[in-house]
Chains A and B, each alone.
Chain A
Amino acid sequence: MRDLSLLVQMGFGALLALSVYLPLRCGQLSLATPGFYAIGGYVAALLSTRWPALSGGGASYPLTSLALELLLAALVAGAVALVLGRPVLQLRGIYLAIATIALVEILRVLNLNMAWSGGAVGIFGIPQPFDGPAGYALATGVLLALTCWLCSRLEAMRLGRAMSAIREDELAARCMGIPTADVKLIAFVLSAVIAALTGVLAAHFLNTWNARQGSFDASITTLAFVVFGGSRIWLGPVLGGLVITALPELLRPVGDLRLILFGLVILVGPILFPQGVITPEGLARIRAAVRRA
């Protein structure tokens, strides 16, 4: 049981890492992911606890209601990203990072103080659509697989090429006729939607939701996933999210030493692999080696 729960959390880690990866895929360092994750969680928590019609009559929460939550969370987060993205994405580099951290903080403070979000206590007793972690593992696995598939398709599409161009040289990309503002906005909205969908699953899985779910700490953790795994191809963030989420649990046998080891991995990773553990060149080398063998 514990192992399956860890698997679910690892899946959340990988999804949030992909949410950070998409804007980074076109060179935009956005740390807004936990903010949209929080929005998704609140949509799920509020709908499932305050709207009795959604709960149905049965023992477990209906999957159709879960699907409705996912849809609404995607719409809300997507709409917020669409409205905020235009002005925010005009900022570059570290300024964009700071603005998105501010966004996460504003949402956190709002959620902490508003009555409808349950204040500091948050929202409790979020109903369970699945009997145990197996159902969550399956749902998370499906969402992760779909997101990976979308990211891998991007590589073959002109949208993916445009994103690469913007990452390499935004001005040159504009001079090649690429509507860079639109492309960056699409990446930002996709990033928000993935984070919000993850938030919906997480709210049910954790059974409770509060303002601490979307914090500055979470921004840094999700960024660490991508820094560790690599940001140039989608496999990197997936690996980073899985490994770094699992590491504290896997290191539990070594006791208090685990926090030091965890810190060392985060520190040494970028020194040994400045571009992340997974790079397109590295993958090509592995592929060539496999073919030779």
Chain B
Amino acid sequence: MPAPLLELEAVTCRFGGLLALDQVSLQVEQGEIFGLIGPNGAGKTTLFNLISGVGRPTAGLIRWSGEAIGGLPPDRINRLGIARTFQNLRLFARLSALENVLIGLYQRGHSPLLGALIGGRSFRRHQVELRQQALQLLELVDLSAVAQQPAGSLPYGSQRRLEIARALATGPRLLLLDEPAAGMNPIEKEELSALILGLRARSELTVLVIEHHVPLMMRLCDRLAVLNFGRRLALGTPELVRHDPAVIEAYLGVSS
């Protein structure tokens, strides 16, 4: 049996006296849409930080296609095929939407130095291709109309979608979405859900998503993990998680 795309084995993360993650284990399979839910402060974003290299686990192993990647720097992790968005939006605010996506295309933007310096024909052609790729990605998230506007001036929901386009530009196999629907209205949430499903269908993308909107997650995700106080409370299909007594008590509140 091949190794799972992403595997966490007893991952622990401690900030001084605070135990942010306590021996969390889970496996994400290729092509899966995997959800992470849990109350605020449960350790979801910390988990994303560890996977994306922003933080370093205190103990435990993170494996990517079987290879240990815990503690590698974020740029290395991204080049291995893991891209992320940020809960608190970290767009390049003064740059245009198009430039934000072009920066995401950095790895594909390599061209010979001399050609770039003199602005030769093949360099210019390559730049046109990059712009087209960037525009296609903006089209995908329905932002091509605002390509030239500064990212910071866009409405909140558009900024969230721009973050997704920028992350996709890096050519990931695994996309980490940190609260992608936050601040979106119900129609935008539906469109987002369709976008994520479409991405998986088209490019065999695997998605790991954090979101508070539980009904959306129940419909979108193949499997869910529930975190509470840094511990994995439950893991399984939405149906299974919904009826887990521990989850109902800790998070979903009133039983249905």
Contacts and interface: CB of A to CB of B under 8 A. Distances in A.
Interface of A: 150, 153, 156-158, 161-162, 164-165, 168-169, 171-180
B116 to A, nearest CB: 5
B125 interface: no
B234 to A, nearest CB: 29
B66 interface: no
A175 B78 contact: yes
Interface of B: 52-54, 73-75, 78-79, 83-84, 86, 90-95, 99, 102-104, 106-107, 109-111, 116-117, 119, 127, 166-167, 169-170
A175 B53 CA distance: 8
Contacts of B106: 158, 161-162, 165, 176-178
Give the dominant DSSP class at A's interface.
helix
A173 B119 contact: no
A175 B54 contact: yes
Contacts of A168: 92-95
A176 B103 contact: yes
8 contacts: A161-B106, A164-B95, A168-B92, A169-B91, A171-B74, A174-B78, A175-B74, A177-B106
Given A164-B92, A168-B93, A175 B103 contact: no
Given A158-B106, A177-B79, 14 more contacts: A153-B116, A157-B111, A157-B116, A165-B92, A168-B92, A168-B95, A169-B92, A171-B74, A173-B92, A174-B73, A174-B74, A175-B78, A178-B75, A178-B103
Nearest to A172: B90
A139 B53 CA distance: 48
A178 B78 CA distance: 9
A156 B102 contact: no
Report, nearest first, the 5 A-B pairs whose CB atoms are least far apart: A158-B109, A177-B78, A168-B92, A172-B90, A174-B74
Nearest to B163: A172
Contacts of A157: 111, 116
A154 to B, nearest CB: 9
Contacts of B84: 175
Nearest to B101: A176
Contacts, number: 78
Contacts of B73: 174
Given A164-B99, A175-B54, A156 B170 contact: no
A176 B78 contact: yes
B119 A153 contact: yes
B197 to A, nearest CB: 24
A6 B156 CA distance: 52
Contact of B103 (A150, A156, A165, A171): A165
A169 B107 contact: no
Nearest to A160: B116
Contacts of A172: 86, 90-92
Contacts of B127: 156
B113 to A, nearest CB: 9
B110 A156 contact: no
A176 B104 contact: yes
Nearest to B90: A172
Contacts of A177: 75, 78-79, 106-107, 170
- Name, among A164, A172, A175, A179, the residue most crowded by chain B CB atoms within 10 Å (CB to CB): A175
B90 A169 contact: yes
Contacts of B74: 171, 174-175
A246 B93 CA distance: 36
Given A164-B103, A169-B90, A179 B75 contact: yes
A179 B72 CA distance: 12
Contacts of A169: 90-92
Nearest to B116: A157
A271 to B, nearest CB: 21
Given A164-B95, A165-B103, A176-B170, A171 B54 contact: yes
A172 B87 CA distance: 12
B90 A161 contact: no
Among A158, A162, A165, the one with the most B-chain Cβ atoms within 10 Å of its Cβ is A158
| A165, A174, A177: most-surrounded residue (chain B CB, <10 A) | A177
Given A156-B116, A168-B92, A162 B54 contact: no
Nearest to A152: B119
A161 B116 contact: no
Contact of B102 (A161, A173, A175, A179): A161
